[in-house]
Protein backbone atom coordinates (compact mmCIF):
# COMPACT_ATOMS: atom_id res chain seq x y z
CA UNK A 1 0.00 0.00 0.00
CA UNK A 2 1.32 3.42 -0.97
CA UNK A 3 1.46 5.94 1.86
CA UNK A 4 -0.25 9.22 1.16
CA UNK A 5 1.30 12.62 1.85
CA UNK A 6 -1.07 12.78 4.82
CA UNK A 7 0.70 9.73 6.30
CA UNK A 8 4.27 10.69 5.44
CA UNK A 9 4.40 14.48 6.03
CA UNK A 10 1.33 15.81 7.79
CA UNK A 11 2.46 19.45 7.81
CA UNK A 12 3.17 19.40 4.07
CA UNK A 13 -0.21 17.73 3.54
CA UNK A 14 -1.88 20.61 5.44
CA UNK A 15 -0.02 23.26 3.42
CA UNK A 16 -0.89 21.47 0.17
CA UNK A 17 -4.54 21.14 1.16
CA UNK A 18 -4.80 24.84 2.02
CA UNK A 19 -3.15 25.75 -1.28
CA UNK A 20 -5.51 23.49 -3.25
CA UNK A 21 -8.52 24.97 -1.46
CA UNK A 22 -7.33 28.52 -2.18
CA UNK A 23 -6.85 27.64 -5.85
CA UNK A 24 -10.27 26.01 -6.05
CA UNK A 25 -8.63 22.76 -7.14
CA UNK A 26 -11.21 20.67 -5.35
CA UNK A 27 -10.80 17.56 -7.50
CA UNK A 28 -7.16 17.27 -6.38
CA UNK A 29 -8.02 17.32 -2.67
CA UNK A 30 -7.47 14.29 -0.46
CA UNK A 31 -11.12 14.32 0.56
CA UNK A 32 -11.07 11.20 2.74
CA UNK A 33 -8.29 12.51 4.98
CA UNK A 34 -9.67 16.05 4.93
CA UNK A 35 -13.01 14.80 6.26
CA UNK A 36 -11.25 12.76 8.96
CA UNK A 37 -9.19 15.77 10.06
CA UNK A 38 -12.23 18.03 10.26
CA UNK A 39 -14.07 15.42 12.32
CA UNK A 40 -11.03 15.10 14.60
CA UNK A 41 -11.02 18.86 15.15
CA UNK A 42 -14.54 18.66 16.54
CA UNK A 43 -13.66 15.71 18.76
CA UNK A 44 -10.58 17.53 20.05
CA UNK A 45 -12.67 20.57 21.02
CA UNK A 46 -15.08 18.32 22.90
CA UNK A 47 -12.27 16.45 24.64
CA UNK A 48 -10.67 19.73 25.72
CA UNK A 49 -14.01 20.95 27.05
CA UNK A 50 -14.43 17.76 29.09
CA UNK A 51 -10.88 17.97 30.46
CA UNK A 52 -11.32 21.60 31.50
CA UNK A 53 -14.71 20.92 33.07
CA UNK A 54 -13.40 17.94 35.03
CA UNK A 55 -10.42 19.98 36.26
CA UNK A 56 -12.64 22.85 37.46
CA UNK A 57 -14.93 20.39 39.22
CA UNK A 58 -11.99 18.56 40.84
CA UNK A 59 -10.54 21.70 42.33
CA UNK A 60 -13.93 23.03 43.39
CA UNK A 61 -14.57 19.75 45.21
CA UNK A 62 -11.19 19.91 46.90
CA UNK A 63 -11.78 23.56 47.81
CA UNK A 64 -15.17 22.78 49.33
CA UNK A 65 -14.38 19.47 51.05
CA UNK A 66 -10.79 20.07 52.16
CA UNK A 67 -10.82 23.67 53.38
CA UNK A 68 -7.81 23.08 55.62
CA UNK A 69 -5.69 22.22 52.57
CA UNK A 70 -6.71 25.09 50.28
CA UNK A 71 -3.94 26.46 48.13
CA UNK A 72 -3.49 29.28 45.68
CA UNK A 73 -2.68 26.58 43.13
CA UNK A 74 -6.23 25.21 43.42
CA UNK A 75 -7.65 28.71 43.11
CA UNK A 76 -5.50 29.41 40.05
CA UNK A 77 -6.55 26.13 38.45
CA UNK A 78 -10.24 26.91 38.98
CA UNK A 79 -9.74 30.31 37.37
CA UNK A 80 -7.62 28.99 34.48
CA UNK A 81 -9.95 26.16 33.49
CA UNK A 82 -13.07 28.28 33.89
CA UNK A 83 -11.50 30.86 31.56
CA UNK A 84 -10.67 28.08 29.09
CA UNK A 85 -14.30 26.94 29.10
CA UNK A 86 -15.51 30.49 28.51
CA UNK A 87 -13.03 30.94 25.66
CA UNK A 88 -14.23 27.70 24.07
CA UNK A 89 -17.84 28.94 24.19
CA UNK A 90 -16.82 32.30 22.74
CA UNK A 91 -15.04 30.59 19.84
CA UNK A 92 -17.68 27.88 19.37
CA UNK A 93 -21.02 28.78 20.98
CA UNK A 94 -22.49 25.44 19.89
CA UNK A 95 -20.23 23.70 22.45
CA UNK A 96 -22.54 25.03 25.18
CA UNK A 97 -25.05 22.25 24.42
CA UNK A 98 -22.28 19.66 24.64
CA UNK A 99 -21.25 21.14 28.01
CA UNK A 100 -24.82 20.63 29.24
CA UNK A 101 -24.93 17.09 27.83
CA UNK A 102 -21.70 15.90 29.51
CA UNK A 103 -21.89 17.92 32.71
CA UNK A 104 -23.12 15.16 35.02
CA UNK A 105 -20.78 12.57 33.50
CA UNK A 106 -17.83 14.94 34.00
CA UNK A 107 -18.95 15.59 37.58
CA UNK A 108 -19.02 11.84 38.21
CA UNK A 109 -15.49 11.53 36.78
CA UNK A 110 -14.30 14.48 38.87
CA UNK A 111 -15.70 12.87 42.05
CA UNK A 112 -13.80 9.64 41.39
CA UNK A 113 -10.54 11.42 40.55
CA UNK A 114 -10.86 13.76 43.53
CA UNK A 115 -11.59 10.83 45.83
CA UNK A 116 -8.45 9.03 44.67
CA UNK A 117 -6.36 12.17 44.89
CA UNK A 118 -7.54 13.25 48.35
CA UNK A 119 -8.22 9.93 50.03
CA UNK A 120 -11.79 11.04 50.76
CA UNK A 121 -14.46 8.42 50.12
CA UNK A 122 -16.37 9.10 46.91
CA UNK A 123 -19.59 9.02 48.98
CA UNK A 124 -18.48 12.20 50.76
CA UNK A 125 -19.38 14.11 47.62
CA UNK A 126 -23.03 14.69 46.64
CA UNK A 127 -24.50 12.47 43.95
CA UNK A 128 -25.28 15.52 41.79
CA UNK A 129 -22.97 18.48 41.41
CA UNK A 130 -23.26 20.99 44.24
CA UNK A 131 -21.99 23.64 41.83
CA UNK A 132 -24.24 25.47 39.40
CA UNK A 133 -23.06 25.61 35.80
CA UNK A 134 -23.12 29.40 35.96
CA UNK A 135 -20.72 29.27 38.91
CA UNK A 136 -18.34 26.93 37.13
CA UNK A 137 -18.18 29.43 34.29
CA UNK A 138 -17.40 32.26 36.72
CA UNK A 139 -13.58 32.35 36.97
CA UNK A 140 -13.81 34.09 40.34
CA UNK A 141 -16.24 31.64 41.92
CA UNK A 142 -15.15 29.78 45.05
CA UNK A 143 -17.68 27.76 47.04
CA UNK A 144 -18.34 28.27 50.72
CA UNK A 145 -17.88 25.28 52.96
Residues 62-110 pLDDT 10s? 999 999 999 999 999 999 999 999 999 999 999 999 999 999 999 999 9
* Three-state SS annotation for the chain: CCCCHHHHCHHHHHHHHHHHHHHCCHHHCCHHHHHHHHHHHHHHHHHHHHHHHHHHHHHHHHHHHCHHHCCHHHHHHHHHHHHHHHHHHHHCCCHHHHHHHHHHHHHHHHHHHHHHHHCCCHHHCCCCCCCCHHHHCCCCCCCCC
Whole-prediction pTM value?
0.83
Structure confidence by residue, pLDDT tens digits, 3-23: 788 889 989 998 999 999 999
Cβ burial, residue 62 (10 Å; 0-12/13-18/19+):
buried
Amino acid sequence: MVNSLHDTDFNLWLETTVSLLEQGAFLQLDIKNLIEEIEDMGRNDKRALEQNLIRVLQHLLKWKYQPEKRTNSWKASITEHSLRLNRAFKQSPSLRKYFDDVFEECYSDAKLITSQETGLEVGVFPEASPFAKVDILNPQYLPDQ
